[in-house]
Amino acid sequence: MPKKYLDPKLIKTKHISLLTLFSSGGTLICCALPALLVSLGAGAVMASVVSSVPQIVWFSEHKLGVFIFAGVMLSISGFLQWKARSLPCPSDKELAELCNKTRVNSLRVYFFSVCVFFIGGFMAFVAPWLMS
């Protein structure tokens, strides 16, 4: 029985979406999570996290670079999502279902990444400006 394969372009789009999620996760670690914990009165929790994992401070110290990288990754992922939207799915029923499922999951990951990016951006750049 021959092996069934998805279009490599769809697999590439899925991998880029996952990389985008992880890069926008850096924006969440850098800015949104600490701001949320402090605003909820859980500053001690944040201090405990930082003392346990001091490398997490790197994200805050380099937040502009983290946001630039995440923005570039989101742009690339968005372009690939847009480009892949019109790719045909295989005529085989199983592969067509897998193709559509992969496409939907990739879009979900992408939109979740965009939300995380904007929440982190608000907490890193807008919220401090509003509070001052």
The pTM of this model reads 0.69
Give pLDDT < 70 ranges for the chain. Answer: 1-14, 17, 21, 23-24, 27-28, 32
Q: What per-residue confidence (pLDDT) applies to 42?
A: 73
Q: What per-residue confidence (pLDDT) applies to 11?
A: 66
Q: Indicate the residue type of 54.
A: P
Q: What per-residue confidence (pLDDT) applies to 40?
A: 75
**Residue that is written with structure tokens 């279009």 in the block:** 7
101-105 long-range contacts (CB < 8 A, ≥24 apart) are: 102/6, 102/10, 102/11, 102/14, 103/10, 105/14
Q: Indicate the residue type of 10.
A: L
> 132: helix, coil or strand?
coil
Answer whether 105's CB lies under 8 Å from 15's CB: no
Q: Which two tokens stand for residue 110?
A: 């992408």
**17-54: per-residue pLDDT in tens?**
677 767 667 766 777 677 777 777 777 877 888 888 88
Q: What per-residue confidence (pLDDT) applies to 1?
A: 44
Answer whether 114's CB lies under 8 Å from 20's CB: no
Alpha-carbon distance of 120 to 40, in angstroms, equals 16
